[in-house]
Structure 1
Amino acid sequence: MPIPTLRRLSLSLALCAVTPLACAETWPGADWSSAPAPRSAAVEALETYAFPSRDDATREGVRTDALLVVRDGAIVYERYAGPTRADTPHLTWSVSKSLLAATLGTAYRDGRFKLDEPAARYYPALAEHPQLKVGHLLNWASGLAWQEGYEYAPLTSSVVAMLYTRGRGDMAGFTAGFREEVAPGSRFRYSSGDSNLLSAVLRGVVGEQAYRDYPWTALFEPLGITSAVWERDGEGTFVGSSYTYMTARDLARIGLLMQRDGRWGERQLLPPAWVAFNRTPFANYQGNPDKPGEAVPGGHWWLNQPLNGKPRPWPDAPEELFAALGHWGQALYVSPDEKLVVVRYADDRDGSYSHNELLKRVRAAFAEENAQ
Structure 2
Amino acid sequence: MHLLLMLCPNTKFLTPPWQAVDTYAFPPRNAAERSGIRSDALLIIRDGRILYERYTAPTTAQTAHLTWSVSKSVLATVLGVAQGEGRFQLQDPAARFYPPLQAHPNVRLADLLHWASGLAWQEDYEYAPLKSSVVAMLYTRGRNDMAAYTAARPAAQPPGQQFLYSSGDSNVLAAALRGMLDASAYAGYPWQALFTPLGIDSAVWERDGTGTFVGSSYLYLSARDLARIGLLMQREGRWGDRQLLPASWVAFNRTLFSQAQPVPGEANPGGHWWLNQPLAGAARPWPDAPTDTYAALGHWGQALYVLPALGLVVVRYADDRDGSYSHNELLKRILAALAKEGA
TM class by smaller structure:
over 0.9
Deviation at 1:210, TM superposition (A): 0.9
After superposition, residues 229-244 of structure 1 pair within 5 angstroms as 229-244=204-219
Deviation at 1:151, TM superposition (A): 1.3
- SS of the aligned residue for 1:337 comes to helix
Residue 294 of structure 1: which of 266, 273, 285 is its match?
266
Aligned equivalent of 1:5 = none
Aligned equivalent of 2:25 = 50
After superposition, residues 180-219 of structure 1 pair within 5 angstroms as 180-219=155-194
Give the AA of the match of 2:182.
Answer: G
Aligned equivalent of 2:144 = 169
Give the AA of the match of 2:342.
Answer: A
| Displacement over 6 Å in runs of 4+ | 35-38
Is it true that 1:271 corresponds to 2:235 in the alignment? no
- SS of the aligned residue for 1:186 comes to coil
CA RMSD of aligned residues (A): 1.3
Structure with larger Rg: 1
Aligned equivalent of 1:41 = 16
- SS of the aligned residue for 2:304 comes to strand
Give the AA of the match of 1:310.
Answer: A
Give the AA of the match of 1:263.
Answer: R
Aligned equivalent of 2:293 = 321
Is it true that 1:82 corresponds to 2:61 in the alignment? no
Deviation at 1:33, TM superposition (A): 2.4
Is it true that 1:311 corresponds to 2:283 in the alignment? yes
Q: Distance in 1 between matches of 2:7 and 2:236?
A: 23
- SS of the aligned residue for 1:178 comes to coil
Q: Distance in 1 between matches of 2:122 and 2:14?
A: 45
Q: Which runs of 5+ in 1 are unaligned?
A: 1-26
Q: Distance in 1 between matches of 2:342 and 2:20?
A: 14
Is it true that 1:262 corresponds to 2:237 in the alignment? yes
Q: Which runs of 5+ in 2 are unaligned?
A: none
Contact 2:8 2:54 in 1 (8 A): no
Aligned equivalent of 1:371 = 342
Deviation at 1:203, TM superposition (A): 0.3
After superposition, residues 97-116 of structure 1 pair within 5 angstroms as 97-116=72-91
Q: Distance in 2 between matches of 1:68 and 1:294?
A: 22
Residue 34 of structure 2: which of 46, 55, 59 is its match?
59
Q: Distance in 2 between matches of 1:245 and 1:62?
A: 21
Percent of aligned pairs with the same residue? 66
Q: Distance in 2 between matches of 1:343 and 1:219?
A: 18
Residue 117 of structure 1: which of 64, 75, 92 is its match?
92
Aligned equivalent of 1:361 = 333
Q: Distance in 1 between matches of 2:146 and 2:8?
A: 43
Deviation at 1:284, TM superposition (A): 1.4
Deviation at 1:82, TM superposition (A): 3.0
- Structure 1 window deviating more from structure 2 (35-44 vs 185-194): it is 35-44
Q: Distance in 1 between matches of 2:128 and 2:342?
A: 44
Deviation at 1:353, TM superposition (A): 0.4
Is it true that 1:28 corresponds to 2:2 in the alignment? yes
Deviation at 1:201, TM superposition (A): 0.5
Deviation at 1:370, TM superposition (A): 4.2
Give the AA of the match of 1:128.
Answer: A
Q: Distance in 1 between matches of 2:342 and 2:51?
A: 10
Give the AA of the match of 2:60.
Answer: R
Give the AA of the match of 1:28.
Answer: H
- SS of the aligned residue for 2:224 comes to helix
- SS of the aligned residue for 1:316 comes to coil
Contact 1:176 1:197 in 2 (8 A): yes
Deviation at 1:36, TM superposition (A): 6.5
